[in-house]
Every structure is written in structure tokens, then in C-alpha cells.
Amino acid sequence: MTKFSANLGFLWTELSLPDAVRAAKAAGFDAVECHWPFETPAEDVAAALKETGLTMLGLNTVRGNPGENGLCALPGREAEAKAAIDQALAYAEVIGTPNVHVMAGFAKGPEAHATFVANLRYACEQAAKLGKTILIEPLNHHDAPGYFLGTSAQAVEIIKEVGAPNIKLMFDCYHLQIMEGDLTRRLTDRLPVIGHIQFASVPERTEPDCGEVNYDHIFAHIASLGYDAPLGAEYKPRGTTDEGLGWMKG
Ligand SMILES: O=C(O)C(=O)[C@H](O)CO
Ligand SMILES: [Mg+2]
């Protein structure tokens, strides 16, 4: 039976993060994940996770200044990037989160690549001390034009170059359907480096019950690969979150 994680960056956003954790539990999710929890005291999130028995599977490093979308591929911003990595790992340690998604930012070219690799090596060293995993995620160029990381091939190349055992790919089916398609084969081919999988309808980015991707097929294929970690429901509900959960009961 496929397990699901509620991404609280998009689901139950009208609630406080601790209450969103409780709502996800009540709705039958097996785990939760989020984007940027830092305005909520980690202790409050930890208490809700303990109360519900859920794990917060992942969180992100901060975006940076208004309009930015990550710091870790930005040449000249290394001190801020390291601080963002330290902040995310410290928060993750308090709430028992195993994965930190290190966000690259809007950049391009060889200097950005070298900067990202160097910051990821730092992140992996720090994460290894805590037994945690660093994730990198290609984002599509419609939602995030100019974002440094845009394809799974680029991510695989970076993962190999970083050369750490605790760096993995966040395979977001939404972004990768837009950027490259061929999801069934990509999931098979990238499986050895996949650290987390997310999904949403394409192109709407709503519940997975519409659009151009057949998620009944995708979920069955993922299960056939022997991947049984919770899959991240990272979509923007058409109505309220609870109204849109019929796809889980299918
Ligand atoms: O945008 C996404 O798909 C993500 O998963 C990032 O964590 C937030 O931008
Ligand atoms: Mg995603």
C-alpha cells in the first residue's frame, strides 16, 4: 500500500504548522514534510510530531532575500549559504527530520556549478555528523525561470561530483514531467540516487486526480521498484485541503 506524506508548504496552510501536522494525521497521512518552518518554534513542531507519531520528512534551506529562491549556487554568498545550511540542519535535528533540501537559487554557469558543489560538500559533511541526508531538487523553468537546477541529469552529475554518500535527488514528478517527461523510465533509471519523491497534477499543480500524468500508473510503478517510503503530496488544493483528499481514498 503506497504511503503518503503531506507537504505542509501547500496543504493546510491556513493552520499553524503544529496544527497542520495534526490535520495531516487526522486525514490519514503517513508522514509530513514542509518548506520553510523557521518562523515556528521547533519545539512546538516537535511536540505535534511526537503527539501524532508522524515524521517531518524534509525541510528546505531558506530562499534568501525577497525574490531569491535559494543561496547555495550563488557565487559570493557562501557565508549566507553555510548559515542557511546550519540553520536547516539545526532545526531538523530538533524535530527529528532526516532530510534537508538545499536550495540552489537563480544562477547559471560554471562558477555557480562550482559554488553549488562546494556548498553541497559542506552540507553533506555537516549532515553526516547528524546522520541526515541532503537533497537537491530540479525545479521547472515555468515556475522557477533561471533556477540553477532544472533536470535530473544535471542533478545526477552534481551528486556524482559531490561524491558524498548522503546526497540524494528529490524527484518531484511535477517538475520533471514538465522538464523532461518519460517519468516511468526516469524513476527506474534514477532510483539509486532518489532520496524522496513528490507529486502533483501537471500542469495545474493541484490534486493528482487530473492533468497529463496518470498517477495510478506512477504509484504502481514506484511500488514495483521496491520503493516504499512515503510519497510527498506537494500540490495546491483546488478548494480546501480536506475537500480535495478523495484521491487518497481511491
Ligand atoms: O517547489 C518545489 O517543488 C519544492 O519541493 C521546493 O521544496 C520548494 O520550492
Ligand atoms: Mg517539490
Per-residue pLDDT of 187-235, as tens digits, reads 999 999 999 999 999 999 999 999 999 999 999 999 999 999 999 999 9
Distance, in Å, from the CA atom of 132 to the CA atom of 124, rounded to the nearest integer, reads 8
> Does any ligand 1 atom lie closer than 6 A to the CB of residue 168?
no
pLDDT in tens, 50-106: 999 999 999 999 999 999 999 999 999 999 999 999 999 999 999 999 999 999 999
Q: Can you read off the three cell numbers belonging to residue 19?
A: 496544527
ipTM of the complex: 0.93
Task: Check if 204 is active-site.
Answer: no
Alpha helices in 28-77 (DSSP H): 42-52
pLDDT > 70 in the chain, percent: 100
Residue nearest to atom 1 of ligand 1 (CA): 139
Q: For residue 71, with 0-12 CB atoms within 10 Å meaning exposed, 13-18 middle and 19 or more buried, which class applies?
A: buried
pLDDT > 90 in the chain, percent: 99
Which band of pLDDT confidence, cut at 50, 70 and 90, is reported for residue 118? very high
- pLDDT of 250 higher than 80: no
Q: Residue 102 carries which DSSP code?
A: -
The number of the ligand 1 atom at minimal distance from the alpha carbon of 172 is 3
More confident of the two residues 22 and 250:
22
pLDDT of residue 249: 86
Q: How far, in Å, from the CA of 35 to the mean position of ligand 1? A: 7
Q: How far, in Å, from the CA of 247 to the mean position of ligand 2? A: 19
> Does any ligand 1 atom lie closer than 6 A to the CB of residue 234?
yes
How many Cβ atoms from other residues are within 10 Å of residue 91's Cβ? 21
CB 173 within 8 A of CB 205: no
Q: How far, in Å, from the CA of 175 to the mean position of ligand 1? A: 9
The number of the ligand 1 atom at minimal distance from the alpha carbon of 9 is 8
Q: How far, in Å, from the CA of 220 to the mean position of ligand 1? A: 23
pTM score, two decimals? 0.98
Fold of 4-249: TIM Barrel (3.20.20)
Largest CA distance in the chain: 49
Average pLDDT taken over every residue of the chain: 98
The number of the ligand 1 atom at minimal distance from the alpha carbon of 7 is 5
Task: Check if 234 is active-site.
Answer: yes
> Does any ligand 1 atom lie closer than 6 A to the CB of residue 35?
yes
Q: What is the mean pLDDT of residues 154-163?
A: 98
Residue where the block lists cell 540516487: 193
Domain boundaries defined on the chain:
4-249
Closest-approaching ligand to the CA atom of 34:
1
Alpha helices in the chain (DSSP H): 17-27, 42-52, 78-95, 110-129, 152-162, 173-179, 183-190, 215-224
